[in-house]
Structure formats: C-alpha cells, structure tokens
Amino acid sequence: MRHLALAGLLISASCIAGGDPLTVGARFAGMGGTGLTLADPWSLRSNPAGIAGLKAPVAGLLYQRHFLSEDLAQQGLAVAIPVGKGCIGLGADRFGYSLYNETRASLAYAMRFGEGLRAAVQFNYLGVNLGGNYGSTAAFVGELGVQARISEQFWLGAHIFNPSRTKLGAVTESNVVLDERVPTLLRAGLGWVVSSKLTLTGEAEKDIDRPERFRFGVEYMPSKALYLRTGISSGPVQGHFGAGIRVSRLEMDLSVSMRSKLGATPMINLNYRFK
C-alpha cells in the first residue's frame, strides 16, 4: 500500500511542481491566471521574459491558501535584479505540510533586444518530500520564454516549460521504481494595452498530455495608486478577482480565485522596488 500511496502523490506532485494548475503571483491570479505578456517580478512563475521589462530591482513575498486549507498553503519569494540590458531572477517557494510538501528554486536570466523583444532562459530545482518514511525525489527542469511587441498596443508572449520532458523518479521501500514526467507546458498569449488605464489579456495553454486551457484577464487602473482586476479561466472553470495598491516603492496585490466545488483560493504578495 505504501508504494501505491507514493505513486498517487507523485502524480499529484508532477502536476503542481510543473506550475499547473496553480498560479503564483496575485496580480496574475486576479487576471484569470494570465501573465505571459506582463512585466512583473512574479513572471518567474509565468514567463521569465517578463522580468526583462523591469527598470529597477524588485523583491517580493507571497502567501496563499489553496481552497482555504492550511495544509495546502504556499509561500514564495521572488527577486529580480536588472543588469545592463538583462535581468537576473531568483525565486523560491514551498507548498504543502509535514506529510507532503514541494519546494522549488529558480534561477533565470532575461534580456531585452531593443524595446520590443525580450527573451529568457530559466532553470528550476523541483523537490517533493513525503512524510512517514515514504521518501523524497527531485529533478532539474528548464524553461524558455519570449515577449514581443507587435504594435504600440499589442504584445505577444510565448513560454515552454520542461521541453526535455524530465521525470520525477523515486524508489519505494518495496524497491518499486516510480517515474512520473513533470508536465511539459506550451503557452501563448496576447496582451492589449487599450490605454494607460486598461489592459486586456488572453492566453492558451497546452499540457501535451491533457486538453487545452484558456484564460482571460482585465486590469483597470482608476488612479496611480489603485488597480482593479478580474478574469476567467477554463479547465475547470474558475472566476478570478483582485486588486493592487501602490504606495511609493511598496506594492501590495490581493486576489481570490473561485472554483465552484472546492471554494476560494486567496493570495497576497508584497513587492518592494529599490529605486
């Protein structure tokens, strides 16, 4: 029974550790889980090319509870440091509790090619730990991202996670070898900057082993200090709502994602810009 339990947990872990379906970053979560075309420190968990659009060093902290469960809490850290025409990104987060938890550490480098093209490469360490002497497993996974401006108002974003189809592997106490592939995700999206106050986003995502998912988001800025957000995502259908507050160099983003049968997932992140 132990190796069967471990198999089930590894299947779950391979989905979550691959960034699917959990959105990290309250701004993105409030906009339906979109973020491929946006510049934000939490682009490290959406499309690392986005950190190339940052003009100053930024550090952020995040906390969320999936479906309001204490056992499904997640904590995260993101740091982006512009260097010349590029930007170095560092990220880390932890999901779960004592009997089952996941960790992820990320290192990214993104570069601007003029004002209309950004590209990035990122390397991730994914770890899964199971309590009760079930053991642990880990893997290194890569990803690539790009953002391109096609007009004054439109941006394209594309991202691939785990192109090498890396596996999470483990050997149980019964010497049963388990190997589950980390999801390989292909994502593409469009961002429409309607005005200085309104941005619309739309994205499609394909896990090569699962049906397509679609996401749509809206961000409205009624004042320089306040952002209002909403969105919708499929697979399964969820409603998303959020808000952001800017006070000098400090940014606070809040969001909640609603799934009909499982309930709400609230999220908060604090970002600090050093210039």
Q: Where are the domains of the chain?
A: 2-273
Q: Which CATH class is domain 2-273?
A: mainly beta
Q: Hey, what are 211's tokens?
A: 């049906």
Mean pLDDT of 202-224: 95
Q: Strand 250-259 relative to strand 167-171: parallel, antiparallel, unpaired?
A: unpaired
Q: Hey, what are 253's tokens?
A: 């983003």
Neighbours of 24 (CB within 10 A): 24
Is the pLDDT confidence value at 51 over 70? yes
Is the pLDDT confidence value at 222 over 90? yes
> What confidence score (pLDDT) does residue 2 get?
44
19/24 Cα distance (integer angstroms):
8
Mean pLDDT of 193-202: 97
226/198 Cα distance (integer angstroms):
12
Could you identify the residue written with the tokens 């049968």?
A: 261
- Give pTM, 2 decimals: 0.88
Please report which residue ranges of the chain form alpha helices under DSSP H.
2-17, 26-30
> What confidence score (pLDDT) does residue 6 get?
43
- The letter for the amino acid at 244 is G
Chain segment 109-165, per-residue pLDDT in tens: 999 999 899 999 999 999 988 876 677 888 999 999 999 999 999 999 999 999 999
> What confidence score (pLDDT) does residue 128 get?
86
> What confidence score (pLDDT) does residue 123 get?
97
Strand ranges in the chain using DSSP code E only, listed in sequence order? 58-65, 73-83, 86-97, 100-112, 117-130, 135-149, 154-161, 167-171, 177-181, 185-193, 198-207, 212-223, 226-233, 238-247, 250-259, 263-273
Closest by Cα among 232, 235, 225 to 200: 232
Closest by Cα among 211, 208, 205, 168 to 32: 205
264/143 Cα distance (integer angstroms):
29
> What confidence score (pLDDT) does residue 176 get?
52
Is the pLDDT confidence value at 8 over 70? no
Confidence grade of residue 200 (pLDDT, cut at 50, 70, 90): very high
Mean pLDDT of 52-79: 95
Chain segment 15-32, per-residue pLDDT in tens: 444 334 578 999 999 999
